[in-house]
Amino acid sequence: MARSRRSSLRLQPSLSTSSLIEMSQRECLTKPLIEYEDILPNMMMNESSLKLTDLLARESDVTVSNQISSLIEYRGFAWHLLVTAIHTLWLLWTFLPENWLHYIGVHYYPSRWWSLAVSNYILILFLYSYIALQFWNVEVEAIPRDDLRAICDGDQVVEKDIVKYGWKDTNGVFDLRISDVNEVLYD
């Protein structure tokens, strides 16, 4: 018993909770256990539900999301009710016949044409956003090919004296001025 306990302790990762040691002791009585399968491939388990890793994972709270407070739930509930109410009102406004509305007592309301107009406008806005984004990226955000920003960066550390590093190996920190480099290479 002591031997098996020691061997089981050797196989386990160093965890400090006592329950784990108890669990491992419990398991050890019946069958030899495996913690990581590639350490001892001979001892195998068929029942996956008794695997210790599984139990550990199920017991731990490490990956549990934050405790949700009741305020957040109430707020979500209130939003749900509000949006449902607005949606219902929108549908009623769009679909109810006029004499029904007069019967309720509502005489002054926006023209129903707006229901169609707003819906269509939002839909086309969604579709246009694809095109607009593409245009924006190509026309506005893309710099011209011969722009200085395509070659140099504003965060460079520039060495103004080309003689210091121009004919040696590349310095890891300093960059040379592009005008000096052009002069050496092409003038």
Q: Are 53 and 27 in contact (CB under 8 A)?
A: no
Note whether 46 binds other proteins by CB under 8 A: yes
What is the rounded CA–CA span in Å between residue 148 and residue 17?
61
CB-nearer residue toward other proteins: 22 or 161: 161
CB-nearer residue toward other proteins: 71 or 140: 71
Note whether 170 binds other proteins by CB under 8 A: no
Note whether 16 binds other proteins by CB under 8 A: no
What is the rounded CA–CA span in Å between residue 163 and residue 32?
73
For the segment 135-154, give every residue that binds other proteins (CB under 8 A): 148-149, 152-154
Looking at the chain, list the stretches that DSSP marks H as alpha helix, in order from N- to C-terminal side.
2-11, 18-30, 52-59, 70-95, 98-104, 113-135, 162-165, 178-186
Beta carbons within 10 angstroms of residue 34's beta carbon: 19
DSSP 3-state of 176: strand
Q: Which of 21, 25, 35, 177 binds other proteins (CB under 8 A)?
A: 177
Note whether 42 binds other proteins by CB under 8 A: no
Burial class (CB in 10 A: 0-12, 13-18, 19+), 33: buried
CB-nearer residue toward other proteins: 5 or 175: 175
Note whether 51 binds other proteins by CB under 8 A: yes
Note whether 98 binds other proteins by CB under 8 A: no
Q: Contact positions toward other proteins, by CB under 8 A?
A: 37-38, 41, 44-46, 48-49, 51, 54, 57-58, 61-71, 73-74, 77, 81, 148-149, 152-154, 158, 160, 163, 166-167, 177-179, 183-184
